[in-house]
Amino acid sequence: MKKKSPDNTAINDPIAVIEQLADQSAQAGLYGLQDANLVLAEAVRELQADKNASKNVSSLVTAWSGLIEKFKDNPNQAAVEIIEYLRRPELNIHMEEDEFTMLGEQIANEAISADPGNPLSDTTAALNMPGSITEEQIAIVEQLADQAAAEGLYGLQDVNLLLTEALREMANTGLALDAGFVSAFLAWPDLLAKYRKEPNGGAEAIINFLRHPALNMPLGDDEYAMLQEQLASEAVVTTDTQATNSTHVDI
């Protein structure tokens, strides 16, 4: 995301600076980052209207602009710091914990897509706009299934095979994918890595991804529950003996 220098009017208006950053994020397809900017803009607007609040918002904006700039060079770390920043008590942002979590996950997924080291960036024509699933991506997910089977993680093999089938059906339709699904799909290798480190939380995250409406998985709630239980139990058994020997395959 190329950052433009704010114009003279924006320099004297902190809200204008933040809204300009929001516009730039939207243009880059970073809609979670856009939302974060808009949330902060509203918080700053309320601070300016509150007679009892500190009026030193310029330092807040300077620090925030630095985080947005950092997102270009170190997106994964910046994604964490952005959410931590929005939680600052002096901002008094009216969001529930689950809302912070959801926004953080969206920005984290966008960070993965913004990371030039993610090989999926090389196989998708445009990561920040609707695209289509490629045969190369499907083949990589199939490879992940084979890797899971070699490790004795048959639940993980099943989810990769389910994902492969769903992706192939999506590819056959030729329909454009929305940016939200692209961001979620980019996070798949990260979900598998999390699963190996934290089996229970990772299993839940994997199942949540399979429930994405775009995948249209033909599974019922009981089948999802059984698959999640299988994932969690298998990982606990195999983590100590096989995790260090597993080969990470990026999409």
pTM of structure: 0.48
pLDDT of residue 115: 55
pLDDT in tens, the chain (251 residues): 444 444 444 446 888 889 999 998 888 878 889 999 999 999 998 888 876 655 567 777 888 988 888 887 777 778 888 988 999 888 889 888 888 888 887 787 776 665 555 444 443 333 333 356 777 788 888 888 888 888 888 999 999 999 999 988 888 887 667 666 777 787 788 788 778 888 888 888 899 889 888 888 888 999 999 999 999 888 665 544 444 444 444 45
pLDDT of residue 72: 79
Question: Is residue 138 domain-shared with residue 87, that is, in the same domain?
Answer: no
Structurally, the chain folds into a number of domains equal to 2
Q: Identify the helix (H) or strand (E) that includes residue 89.
A: none
Question: Is residue 127 domain-shared with residue 241, that is, in the same domain?
Answer: yes
Nearest to 15 by CA among 35, 39, 45, 36: 45
Question: Is residue 16 domain-shared with residue 111, that is, in the same domain?
Answer: yes
- Cα torsion 105, 37, 182, 177: sign: positive
Question: Is residue 195 domain-shared with residue 134, that is, in the same domain?
Answer: yes
User: Of 75, 90, 115, which one is at a domain's C-terminal end?
Assistant: 115
User: Of 89, 115, 141, which one is at a domain's C-terminal end?
Assistant: 115
What is the Cα Rg of the chain in Å? Answer: 20
Using the structure block, give the residue that is written with the tokens 């950053």.
21
Using the structure block, give the residue that is written with the tokens 């529950």.
225
Question: Is residue 101 domain-shared with residue 134, that is, in the same domain?
Answer: no
pLDDT of residue 223: 93
Question: Is residue 97 domain-shared with residue 160, that is, in the same domain?
Answer: no
Question: Is residue 198 domain-shared with residue 132, that is, in the same domain?
Answer: yes
209-212: which pairs have CB atoms within 8 A and are 24 or more residues apart? Answer: 209/184, 210/159, 210/162, 210/163, 212/181, 212/184
pLDDT of residue 42: 93
pLDDT of residue 233: 87
Question: Is residue 102 domain-shared with residue 191, that is, in the same domain?
Answer: no
Question: Is residue 138 domain-shared with residue 67, that is, in the same domain?
Answer: no
Question: Is residue 238 domain-shared with residue 134, that is, in the same domain?
Answer: yes
Which domain covers residue 73, as residue numbers?
A: 8-115
Contact by Cβ (8 Å): 44, 57: yes
240-246: which pairs have CB atoms within 8 A and are 24 or more residues apart? Answer: 242/151, 242/152, 243/196, 243/197, 245/151, 246/147, 246/151, 246/196
> How far is it, in rounded angstroms, from Cα 210 to Cα 188?
10
User: Of 115, 140, 157, which one is at a domain's C-terminal end?
Assistant: 115
Pair of tokens at residue 34: 């856009």
